[in-house]
Structure 1
Amino acid sequence: MKPFLPGLLRSTDADSIYRNRFIIAATVTLACVLELLDTSIVNVAVPHMMGTLGATLDEITWVSIGYVVANVIVLPISGFLANQFGRRNYLALSILVFTVASWACGNSTSLGELVFWRIVQGLGGGGLIATAQATLYEVFPVREMATAMAIFGMGIMFGPSLGPTVGGWITDTWSWPWIFYINLPLGAIALFMVLTFVPDSAHRKVAEAVDYLGLILLAVGVGALQLMLERGEKQDWFESAEILAYAIASFLSLFAFVIRQLEYDHPIVNLRIMRDLQFSVGLLFTFFLGAALFSTVFLFPVYAQTLIGFDAFQTGMIILPSALAAAFTMPIAAKMLSRGVPAHFIIVTGAAVFMYAMWGHHEFTTESGLSDFFWPLLLRGFGLGLVFMPLNNLTLAKIAPKEIPNATGLYNLVRQLGGSVGIAVSATLLVKFEDIKRSGLVEHLAHDNAAMAERLDLFGRMFRQKGESAMAATQKAYALINLQVNKQAMMLAFSDLFLWFGLAIVLLLPLLFWMRTPPRMAQAGDVAH
């Protein structure tokens, strides 16, 4: 396929590409930020959408689910699509589809229409991250790869955290359609820059045949898995026939897909690259890193809005320093790598900082305020920033250049699925932990407990002074104590979850023993291929 508007890119020689490498990095990172921003930006506008479209809470969740499901379906085949259409064409087409769908989302007048265009938007945005990463691996020389991944990582870390802040401000200032319209000028800029500066891949190889059966199996398998994770907690997991159907469909489809890809001569996803132990171990590590990143981004806003009483915009502003810390830590990690600091040391340091930050989260209470949140959240971003980029480089260190697009698709899919699993597990464990903590607290509220009797008498007198009868005052006193118990039980559940996510990253560190820095890359001050 010939490139769109071929005259825009004046020169595709190596010197020209090298001169424009930072412009190319900024271009593809902007595209990634747009895609990731839209995974979380709609969440704060949900009440407004419900009112405008006349939808229930359960119905409106499909606006988010449709987008994420479409994303994960496209991610693993992004390398295949880039080869088929040409990387430059595929990036441009993806941005165009994403931008047009954004306009259609803002113009939607019914729930069905909005969900449809969100799916189209997700299909357009799904391939941007992996294709962007593959572009950087080819455009930048080995000695500068740490810098390239730092720029890319800033977008990956910044995008999801920025969503609630931007979404809350836009919704309060204008109206919910503007969370989609904001993509139009940014998408137009990204499209122009892609057509002007981004070159096609020198390693492009068009498939001799398209594995349509494999494509269908992948779409059904990954799509059903994502639906199961998104809907599981609300439907009480495998007590629901719907969730059970998703699980069976996902398992059978993915099992058949793996067999098909290993046996077919022209697979759409080359799973044989997982024979590289370093790559496979990196996938496992990034799965849990994704779980920690997305779960803590999910849990803290729930805690802040439910127990502290912040609104969506206030919560977003509190989270923003964490996102900034993660983004600005990337260049620090890149500089450390270029100075010869081992990637393993940087990752271990980042994990230790993240664990310390999670301990700070563990110490939060129902009375915590801005001063209590600042440093733990800042250190959380700092720790994740130190882990993300060196891990990315180590994971892909031994992958051949022609397999980079395929590998980055798998790598980003695994991180996305890790995030989905982490959020699903967090939501489920929050309920379970809360029940356990509540049972433990209730055991101490027997009538012969002096503190309980004193508190009950205090609340009873308070309500009687407000004119309540003795019976009504007693009932309201019990209700108030029950409310306090529930609030404290939820706080203890949040506290435990924060700590467990910190421990999860630390417990993964032994995996680094199976990840080695190739000697020639270490000499170049980098660990990327």
Structure 2
Amino acid sequence: MTPSSDKQPLVPLHGANRSLAALTLGLASFMAVVDITIANVSVPTISGNLGISPEEGEWLITSFAVANAICIPLTGWLSRRFGQVKLFVAAVTAFTIASILCGLASSFESLLFFRILQGAVAGPIVPLSQALLVAVFPRERQTLAVAMWAMTNMAGPVVGPMLGGWITDQYSWPWIFLVNAPIGFFVVASTLKLLRGRDTPTVRLPVDVIGLALIAIAVGSLQIGLDRGRTLDWFASPMICVMAILAVLGFIVLIIWELGATHPIIDLRLFAHRNFAVGTIAIAIGFGLYFAALVLIPLWLQTNLGYSSTWAGLVTAPMGIFGIALAPFLGRWVSKNDARRFASIAFIAWAAVAFWRSTMTTQVDANTIAITCLAQGIGIGFFLTPIVSLSLIGIPPEKVAAASGLQTAIRMMSGSLMASLAQTFWDQRSRFHQTHLVSQLTPLNDYVASTISTLKQTGFSETQAWGLIARELDIQAHMLSLNDFFLLSTLLFSATLGVVWLARGPRKQTN
């Protein structure tokens, strides 16, 4: 096992080349992250066009997520074996081709296969874009590179559904995949021009076949269970029970095997670095709750308040404003100050916004919702950059890609877990509130009797009047349930604020 040195090492770029590299790598990361959610709102249209049920169509989302979650942790091993630049170019090329094949698919079976391929090859793109950004920026400006990378990762899930819905409505669903083609070609051509003849050292490592199989079993079972659990009523479904057992046993055996392997497929010893362990926990909780809110708010607006998908997207869009505005400055701030302070701002802002949302009623207007999203953007802007910077303190340069891949995989799995649990919590808690509210609806209640009488006077029959009341009751129950979710989020954000301060500050870091 000897390092290969047929390529020149990566060095910081300057001037226009550095700006072009930032644009190139940022676009690649953004493209990969957007595709995680871009098909979500288009599933009904795709299902109808391909002659399948919406439930079957959901597998287009699940298949991508499963393949992506399995392949992200492999980034570190693959980059050491083939080199970061070579792997990045290959992944983006394959992703572009898979996207074109998805757009040209004429059957559900072929589209499903190409989505699996697309998810698999997308795995290394996000962590490698971070590793390469850090490599091509000088040390004093690396936090700026991380800030730019962070914004693409936080904005992608927001933009994905909006972009997917708009493209499907204005054109047709194949274009949600075909739109990746020009971006992919640009990224490949630009990367080859900027980094020609340069790459990270490679090492011929033996393949950890058992570790690879365990990752596929553990991560695949977990992702399938999370994606299908809500529609199959969780543990009432034998399939979900089997997936849960496989996931738990798979992760236990995976951890034991990887810690004892000479050449592990994922380097769990990275958690021996205190900052990496603390940062990963904070990112998992913070991003999970953020992503859960990102799923619930538009869903609530459309199903309970009558917003169209376009308007739901418009009122939630302001959450990206602060992040974009702060990105050019945050890198400089973090490099000169304690990153824990900036991460604390993120969790304080998120906790405050969550508490604000826990007091909302169904009378809330679009402006107020937009303002809460704008305020949430403060947390987005101060979240990922400081914590990732903290996490990478003490990590050897050759392990940055592995650390980024492992942390990204955990972050994405946390997003899936929290989103699934949040939707289940919302449904179950709304039934609890509905039961309580129904107990108050009797003809003997003066307010109920007065409402029924008023509705009958306006032309509704008694059955129709009770139907309207039942609908309003359901809306109020879901509102109370959403309040409960955000109150719980307030507590969790506040607790995670304390976790951040378990990390060592830059000046005290010795590991």
TM-score bin, normalised by smaller chain: over 0.9
Counterpart CA distance in 1 for 2:446 and 2:10 is: 82
Question: What's 2:310 paired with?
Answer: 313
Which of residues 348, 364, 368 is equivalent to 2:344? 348
Counterpart CA distance in 1 for 2:12 and 2:504 is: 32
Equivalent residues of 1:135, 1:201 under 8 A apart: no
Matched residue type, 2:83: G
Counterpart CA distance in 1 for 2:477 and 2:19 is: 50
Matched residue type, 1:72: A
Question: What's 1:515 paired with?
Answer: 503
Which of residues 8, 20, 41 is equivalent to 2:38? 41
* 2:220 paired with 1:223: yes
Equivalent residues of 1:430, 1:494 under 8 A apart: yes
Spell out the pairing of 1:108-119 with structure 2 (5 A cutoff): 108-119=105-116
Equivalent residues of 1:138, 1:201 under 8 A apart: no
Counterpart CA distance in 1 for 2:249 and 2:49 is: 40
Question: What's 1:506 paired with?
Answer: 494
Spell out the pairing of 1:137-148 with structure 2 (5 A cutoff): 137-148=134-145
Which of residues 387, 394, 397 is equivalent to 2:383? 387
Q: Offset at 1:197?
A: 1.6
Matched residue type, 2:411: R
Equivalent residues of 2:69, 2:219 under 8 A apart: yes
Equivalent residues of 1:45, 1:167 under 8 A apart: yes
Q: Offset at 1:13?
A: 6.8
Q: Offset at 1:241?
A: 0.6
Q: Offset at 1:18?
A: 8.3
Equivalent residues of 1:95, 1:190 under 8 A apart: yes
Equivalent residues of 2:390, 2:506 under 8 A apart: no
Equivalent residue of 2:362, what SS? coil
Counterpart CA distance in 1 for 2:236 and 2:405 is: 33
Counterpart CA distance in 2 for 1:461 and 1:313 is: 36
Matched residue type, 1:442: V
Equivalent residues of 2:82, 2:202 under 8 A apart: no
1:365-412 deviations in Å (ceiling 9; x for gaps): 323332111210011112121122101111111212122111111110
Equivalent residues of 1:168, 1:316 under 8 A apart: no
In structure 1, stretches of 5+ residues that fail to align are: 1-5, 465-472, 523-528
Which of residues 72, 75, 80 is equivalent to 1:78? 75
The size of the alignment, in residue pairs, is 506
Q: Offset at 1:202?
A: 6.2
Equivalent residues of 2:12, 2:137 under 8 A apart: no
Matched residue type, 1:381: G
> What percentage of residue pairs aligned between the two structures are identical?
30
Which of residues 478, 482, 501 is equivalent to 2:470? 482
The verdict on how the C-alpha distance between 1:358 and 1:136 changes in structure 2, with shifts beyond 3 A counting, is: same
Equivalent residues of 2:9, 2:200 under 8 A apart: no
Question: What's 1:152 paired with?
Answer: 149
Equivalent residues of 1:153, 1:327 under 8 A apart: no
The verdict on how the C-alpha distance between 1:278 and 1:457 changes in structure 2, with shifts beyond 3 A counting, is: same
Which of residues 260, 270, 295 is equivalent to 2:292? 295
Equivalent residues of 1:130, 1:405 under 8 A apart: yes
Question: What's 1:63 paired with?
Answer: 60
Matched residue type, 1:178: W
Spell out the pairing of 1:466-481 with structure 2 (5 A cutoff): 473-481=461-469
Question: What's 1:470 paired with?
Answer: none
Equivalent residue of 1:308, what SS? coil
Equivalent residues of 2:81, 2:205 under 8 A apart: no
1:454-486 deviations in Å (ceiling 9; x for gaps): 11222233335xxxxxxxx22222221111111
Question: What's 2:449 paired with?
Answer: 453
Matched residue type, 1:357: V
Question: What's 1:525 paired with?
Answer: none
The verdict on how the C-alpha distance between 1:249 and 1:13 changes in structure 2, with shifts beyond 3 A counting, is: closer
Matched residue type, 2:432: I
Equivalent residues of 1:397, 1:517 under 8 A apart: no
Counterpart CA distance in 2 for 1:249 and 1:15 is: 44
Counterpart CA distance in 2 for 1:508 and 1:389 is: 16
Equivalent residues of 1:142, 1:521 under 8 A apart: no
Matched residue type, 2:506: P
Matched residue type, 1:288: I
Matched residue type, 1:176: W
Equivalent residues of 1:86, 1:201 under 8 A apart: no
Equivalent residues of 1:463, 1:476 under 8 A apart: no
Q: Offset at 1:310?
A: 1.8
Would you identify which runs of 4 or more consecutive aligned residues in structure 1 move more than 3 Å? 11-22, 198-203
Q: Offset at 1:521?
A: 7.9
The verdict on how the C-alpha distance between 1:394 and 1:200 changes in structure 2, with shifts beyond 3 A counting, is: farther
* 2:313 paired with 1:325: no
Spell out the pairing of 1:134-283 with structure 2 (5 A cutoff): 134-198=131-195, 204-283=201-280
Q: Offset at 1:129?
A: 0.7
* 2:101 paired with 1:104: yes
Q: Offset at 1:140?
A: 2.4
The verdict on how the C-alpha distance between 1:138 and 1:200 changes in structure 2, with shifts beyond 3 A counting, is: farther
Q: Offset at 1:111?
A: 1.4
Counterpart CA distance in 1 for 2:15 and 2:201 is: 19
Equivalent residue of 1:508, what SS? helix
Equivalent residues of 2:77, 2:402 under 8 A apart: yes
Which of residues 346, 353, 358 is equivalent to 1:362? 358
Q: CA RMSD in A?
A: 2.2
Equivalent residues of 2:9, 2:198 under 8 A apart: no
In structure 2, stretches of 5+ residues that fail to align are: 1-5
Counterpart CA distance in 2 for 1:201 and 1:369 is: 54
Counterpart CA distance in 2 for 1:200 and 1:380 is: 43
Equivalent residues of 1:102, 1:184 under 8 A apart: yes
Q: Offset at 1:201?
A: 7.4
* 2:483 paired with 1:495: yes
Which of residues 363, 369, 376 is equivalent to 2:372? 376
Matched residue type, 1:399: I
Q: Offset at 1:318?
A: 2.1
Spell out the pairing of 1:393-472 with structure 2 (5 A cutoff): 393-463=389-459
Q: Offset at 1:306?
A: 0.8
Higher deviation after alignment, 403-412 or 312-321: 312-321
1:62-88 deviations in Å (ceiling 9; x for gaps): 011111111110110111111222211
1:24-73 deviations in Å (ceiling 9; x for gaps): 22211111110111111111212211210111111000011111111110
Equivalent residues of 1:214, 1:267 under 8 A apart: yes
The verdict on how the C-alpha distance between 1:460 and 1:85 changes in structure 2, with shifts beyond 3 A counting, is: same
